């Protein structure tokens, strides 16, 4: 009987932790303005110069609105987060794209996106 109670508590705690983590990911994504710090393709990492970083940023609002600047051109789009698949679906200047969330912390956001059949990783910092 004690084993069943302990196992039940363990399962409930695990489910709660998973739900908290998923909620926290969206909260972190929507916690501020993200500036592209680097891009990586085929294992080659390219850090963006600070002038370019200032012209490439994005804000993901909890409401699903997305604001950003790409190469100096401001835009407004839409986004949604599929927490099960950890996919950020965006609709902006580049059209509709699915970006895989690799990791997010309070200061870093790393996503993966397919560009012309190749995987590109974008690392962003919060500003």
Q: What is the pLDDT of residue 40?
A: 95
117: buried, middle or exposed (CB in 10 Å: 19+, 13-18, 0-12)?
A: exposed
Q: What is the pLDDT of residue 8?
A: 53
Task: From first to last of the 127 residues of the chain, give the pLDDT tens digit.
Answer: 555 654 455 566 555 444 444 459 999 999 999 999 999 999 999 999 999 999 999 999 999 999 999 999 999 999 999 999 999 999 998 889 999 999 999 999 999 998 778 899 999 999 9
Full domain range(s) for residue 9: 2-126
Q: In angstroms, rounded to a whole number, what is the distance separating the alpha carbons of residues 53 and 36? A: 6
Q: What angle do CA 59, 101, 120 make, to 5 degrees?
A: 90
Domain count, the chain: 1
CATH number of residue 18's parent domain: 2.40.128.280
Q: What is the pLDDT of residue 98?
A: 94
Separation of CA 84 from chain center? 13
User: pTM for this one?
Assistant: 0.78
Three-state secondary structure call for residue 14:
helix
């Amino acid at each position: 009987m004690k084993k069943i109670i302990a196992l039940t508590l363990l399962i409930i705690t695990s489910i709660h932790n998973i739900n908290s983590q998923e909620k926290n990911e969206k909260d972190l994504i929507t916690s501020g303005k993200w500036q592209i710090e680097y891009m990586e393709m085929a294992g080659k990492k390219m850090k963006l110069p600070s002038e370019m970083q200032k012209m490439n940023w994005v804000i993901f609002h909890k409401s699903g609105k997305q604001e950003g600047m790409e190469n100096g051109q401001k835009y407004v789009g839409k986004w949604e987060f599929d927490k099960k698949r950890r996919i950020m679906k965006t609709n902006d200047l580049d059209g509709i794209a699915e970006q895989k969330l690799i990791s997010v912390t309070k200061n870093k956001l790393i996503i993966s996106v397919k560009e012309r059949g190749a995987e590109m990783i974008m690392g962003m910092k919060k500003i």
